[in-house]
Chain A
Amino acid sequence: MNLDNTAGLDLKNVNIHYGDFHAVHELSMDFQSREVTALIGPSGCGKSTLLRSLNRMNDLIPSAKTTGEIVFHGKNVYDTDVDPVQVRRWIGMVFQKPNPFPKSIFENVAWGARINGYKGDMEELVVTSIQRVALWDEVKDKLQKPALALSGGQQQRLCIARTIAVQPQIILMDEPTSALDPISTAKIEDLLDELKKSYTIIIVTHNMQQAGRVSDKSAFMLTGVLEEFGTTNEIFFNPKNPKTEAYISGRFG
């Protein structure tokens, strides 16, 4: 893999099963580099499942089985010679509920970089990462304090800082603001605009306004099927699929 530049993801005929349950059907699409793509759809439509399959996080669920191709830098991440640990290192993830490590704020950001063999100035990396998520002013005096003492919104920004500290190329976000208050949500949305200059961002959200505000492209999923994929403007203002239109206009979901 040539990892010099951030790359997107190409999905070809992706199917995901949990045991007998067919969660995602024959899904093909591509995520462009340096764009925010929103995955939208009602609960249970398979969007979180799809997101977790992109960095092989689904491997941790014993019954999950993914087929098809997810191509990153010309290589299917599910090829047998690909190490899922490396996939997750290049394709970072931010979770629905803020889940910082029960360690210090500093250590939260430094740990991922350290285990990935970061040899540069750790202090500088931690400071830059925290600054990039606009958390610096709030935590600069308490870097050695436990991360769990921060507010939910601060914790989630710290989780994003932790993710970008290992310098991934793609960041997956699974409803990153659903557990947060509106002010924290706004801060993270602002952050996305900044982060997409350097990263490919794929975000699952239940919040239509949020998808409209932050994403360049949107993908609408329903019962495991990709119903429509296009620019966010098209999906929101000129959907071609009547199901998309029904969902956007709030008739179900």
Chain B
Amino acid sequence: MSDFHPNEKGRKRTAGLWNVVFLAATLVGVLSLVTLVTSLIDSCFGYVVLQDAYAYSEVSVAPDKALASLTKDELVQTLRTTAEADLTDLTTGRLRLLEMDRPLEVRTEDDLRNLVITEVLKSEIKKSWSLMESLSQAPAITEFQKSRYPDGHLAFRSWLSPEFLTKAQSGGKAESNGLRGAIIGSLWIILIAIVIAFPIGLGSAIYLEEYASDNWLNRLIQTNIYNLAGVPSIIYGMLGLAIFVRLMGPITSGAIFGVQDVNGRTVFSAGLTLGILILPIIIINAQEALKAIPNSLRYSSYGVGATKWQTIWHHVIPASMDRILTGTVFAVSRAIGETAPLVVIGASAFLTLDPSGLFSKFTTLPIQIFTWSQMASPEFRHVAAAAIVVLLVLLLGLNAVAIYFRTGIQKAKDAL
């Protein structure tokens, strides 16, 4: 009895201390996430000073009515008369271009109103504030607008808007930029990457896990796959540039399929590069998924006279599919945020045409965020923040899809 010194108080104190340390670690993590989200939201909303280059009262066909209450006919008339009378920068030539895009008569009222603002009034954002500034310094901001931009007006702007998502990129001011091309580009590239990497990755994992014998060659392959998963992504960019853009240029540019005026810096090359980038991750995750299937399941299948392929196809793959899909989504999440390799293989920083197929030039969400964050004009800060929010929402959406699939598979399993 006397040889034992339980020291209960001391042990409990140590336990309590570690409890606090772990809690603190968690709090630091949570705090940094909260800071990130807060600063994003902070940049996404806020006051802006808008100033029209031309006075509304001088160009409108109905100057006594506010712009917001003009009818569709009045909006069309305003556009036509200002162009014909050459009152503003909107020339008849410019109007003809706009009509070629879509005739005024078939455009929506909102669209026309926007045209009046951007083409006739040339309304511009002169200065912008973040959400925090807007909330805390509203009187000072109003004062600033009155003294510096007496002709302008103050508006509360959400940089993140449906319009921002659906508008194409434009070379001009921050506020006239949209994400449509980047979203379509990201989706295209991810789709190609999955179509390439998932079947190859699953196939390799099945070979390595179920078929390959334990010899030096297979061990070498396995080691290399682990190493490849850790290779910096820019190196995949170099590989993509050398092989897909340059060497396979005729194929990836679509030249051999009759596509003209394009080089290998296309959606196809980008998708292939990201496909190769996520391949080792998919292989490793799928291998782990297959490893998690107990041998007893395989034996029970062999025990009734099943072949290896029947065992794998009917039992091993269905039982591991939820984990395989989870791993794939993990890999796709990585791919969708990749920037460096796409810069290397030549993403377009400025692209007004939407990527429409394999052989289009491309830009992606992270590329856009990168480009906009480099811009000198402070308004681009808000646009970049809004794009980041879109990227994060897209990632969350992907994860939600994965969870939906997984629970679906789990339910199907349970129901059997």
Contacts and interface: CB of A to CB of B under 8 A. Distances in A.
B414 interface: yes
A146 B416 contact: yes
Contacts of A55: 303
Contact of B305 (A60, A89, A104, A146): A89
A101 interface: yes
A246 B297 CA distance: 38
Contacts of A116: 304-305
A166 B305 contact: yes
B304 A112 contact: yes
A243 interface: no
A186 B296 CA distance: 24
A104 B416 contact: yes
B414 A146 contact: yes
A57 B414 CA distance: 29
A57 B296 CA distance: 12
Interface residues of B, number: 25
Contact of A85 (B295, B296, B305, B318): B305
Interface string B375-416: 000000000000000000000000000000000000001111
Contacts, number: 77
A93 B305 CA distance: 10
A22 interface: no
B307 interface: yes
A207 B322 CA distance: 40
Contacts of B300: 95, 99-101, 159, 162
Contact of B306 (A57, A99, A112): A112
A253 interface: no
A88 interface: yes
A31 B44 CA distance: 80
A60 B301 CA distance: 12
B213 A62 contact: yes
Interface in B288-309: 294-307
Contact of A103 (B296, B304, B310, B416): B416
B304 A88 contact: yes
B313 to A, nearest CB: 10
Nearest to B303: A93
Nearest to A52: B299
Contacts of B299: 57, 60, 93, 95, 99
B416 A88 contact: no
B208 to A, nearest CB: 14
Nearest to B315: A101
Nearest to A109: B304
B261 interface: no
Interface of B: 213-214, 294-307, 310, 314-315, 318-319, 413-416
